[in-house]
Structure 1
Amino acid sequence: MIGLSNHKPPAEWWSRVKRWFQLPEAEVNTHGREWTNCICCGGRRNSAKESLGLCMTCFNAIPWIMAVRCPVCGRPDECPDCVRRTSCFFRYSRSAVRYNSLMKEWLASYKYRGNERLLPLFSGMLVHAYHQLVKELPAAGQDSPGFHCISYVPMNTSRLEERGFNQAEAMAAMLGKRLSLPVIPLLQRTRHTAKQSFKSRGERLNDLQGAFKLLEEAEESLTRKQEELACQGRPVRIFLLDDVYTTGSTLNQCARAITQSLPAEVYGLMWAR
């Protein structure tokens, strides 16, 4: 069973986070020091020392998930959802941060107000979720997970036309570049579903039943990959990305659509929990 029991020492943790997320952009002032603006608050920051495009005030305000209570979904608190789930079609899921009021504000700025400067920030934060998941897998008896691709939760066509982009797809594309993993569209919506944030847990479960199906071209591609791996006794392993994990109903139904068609393992990679 995987899961973190202890927090990392702060000094060691921040050092590792900064190494993972260091961004190359910088403006050099007349004194030869590198300065640029924080992409969230607009304040000045020393880009040679500060990471993720943030000043240290904004960086230190990020509610990183550094230890989990639920080994399945990665929730840092007691989890009422996984214990009640009768069938789980994904293996594990990890999220980068808690979804507090500040994270809601950042995500809304990107999703609804078109602040595209935040996309590199979000993809960088997802690297933390990736490292959390990968380093915990040996505890579950998986020494060499060997992930093969990243995919993402598809949007309703009407909502995609309204917003103009799928935030999960955009995050996946940039994360794929950071991790050198291919990003493959695997799923499509079979019908329109209303926003899940306004529904109860039971309504989410009923509303999402059969709401996703595997794309035919994706099934063909993954079947070929599975045939290549069969002689090694290894399954196809997929990261499925979304912006926010609430009850896990969306992730579970997406994973169901994939695993019912293919002998694949699906792992959730979420920005916020």
Structure 2
Amino acid sequence: MDWWSIFFSPPNTCWFCSTPVRSSRFAAVWKQVCTVCQDQIEPITERFCHSCGRLMADERPAICLDCTKISEGERVCNRSAVTYSDWVKQIIQIYKYRGKESLATPLGLWMAEVAARHFRLRRFAFITFVPLYPDRLHERGFNQAELLAGVMGKRLGLPVVPLLERCKSTSSQSQRSRQERLLALKNVFRLGKEVNRKQIANKTILIVDDVYTTGTTLRECAKPLRQAGVNDVCSVTFAR
């Protein structure tokens, strides 16, 4: 590399489009996003439900109405990076269904920033992720939640361990009502056959997924972990 390329290197481009941005590659993800894309995104940085992480109109009450209907023992403390908008939906669809796996990097780094801001990271023994059914994994070619967890684990210095299995196939949950989700996902997840229960007993686990809609998926994932003696379960998703 000559002196010209050092002092006049090409500008960084937005994580989500080709627009140049004036930012260090080591800056927070938000600062590496162009203003056009920023206008389409609503980060969740304050005024959120302390249980599910949903953006709220004000800080009172601390827990949203939906979470008050869930028993405290079943809740999973979740934090998310952004609200689920049309633009975010499009980005996630490009990532999951059009195979743009490279998007796992900015999404995962952003989620790592969220985890570092909201949780005491030393409390987590492992990061795990929502599993796909084998047929769906074969069809898609990758598990979007696993890739996100991998990026987060590398950035946060936490081990990523596959702790869960999906024991039956379920169709897409995006168009289902809350009640339909509850029924479709009931007892879908179980502890992986090779998981050593002694290694996770009394530990705190961080679960990763791309989107939090009703929270049913994450609560169902938490059940077998808690039954195996896990002390606590938290989660991080990109969108809420």
TM-score for both structures, normalised by structure 1:
0.75
Cα distance between partner residues in 2 of 1:85 and 1:34: 51
Does residue 19 of structure 2 align to residue 43 of structure 1? Answer: yes
Match of 1:105 in 2: 90
Query: Over aligned residues, Cα RMSD in angstroms?
Result: 2.4
Q: Structure 1 pair 38/91, CA: closer, same or farther in 2 (3 Å)?
A: closer
In structure 1, how many angstroms separate the alpha carbons of the residues matched to 2:49 and 2:169? 31
Return 5+ residue gaps in structure 2 as ranges: 58-63
Whole-angstrom CA distance in 2 between matches of 1:30 and 1:237: 45
Q: Determine the structure 2 residue equivalent to 1:9.
A: none
| Identical amino acids, percent of aligned pairs | 36
Mark the CA change 1:225 to 1:209 in structure 2 (over 3 Å): closer, same or farther. closer
Matches within 5 A, 1:162-177: 162-177=139-154
Give 1:128's match in structure 2, choosing from 113, 128, 134: 113
Of 199, 205, 208 in structure 2, the residue corresponding to residue 238 of structure 1 is 205
Distance in structure 1 (CA, Å) of the matches to 2:234 and 2:126: 11
CA contact (8 A) 1:214 1:258 kept: yes
> Does 1:188 pair with 2:173?
no
CA distance in 2, matches of 1:84, 1:145: 30
Residue 90 of structure 1 and its aligned partner are, at CA, apart by 4.3
Q: Number of residue pairs matched?
A: 228
1:54 aligned residue: 33
Match of 1:265 among 216, 222, 232: 232
1:199 aligns with 2:176: yes
The offset of 1:32, in angstroms, is: 2.0
Alignment of 1:67-82 (within 5 A): 67-77=46-56, 79-82=64-67
Note the residue ranges of structure 1 that are not aligned, 5 or more in a row: 1-27, 136-143, 227-234
Query: In 1, distance between residues paired with 2:101 and 2:231?
Result: 33
For the structure 1 residues 224 and 113, does the alpha-carbon distance in structure 2 shift closer, same or farther, using more than 3 Å as the test?
closer
Q: Detail structure 1 runs of 4+ shifted over 4 Å in the superposition.
A: 28-31
Which shows bigger deviation, 76-85 or 124-133? 76-85
Change (3 A) 1:196 1:29: same
Aligned to 2:199: 224
8 Å Cα contact 2:76-2:218 kept in structure 1: no
1:50-106 C-alpha deviation (Å, 9 max, x unpaired): 653533443464311012442111111373421222464344111111011111111
Query: What is the TM-score normalised by the length of structure 2?
Result: 0.85
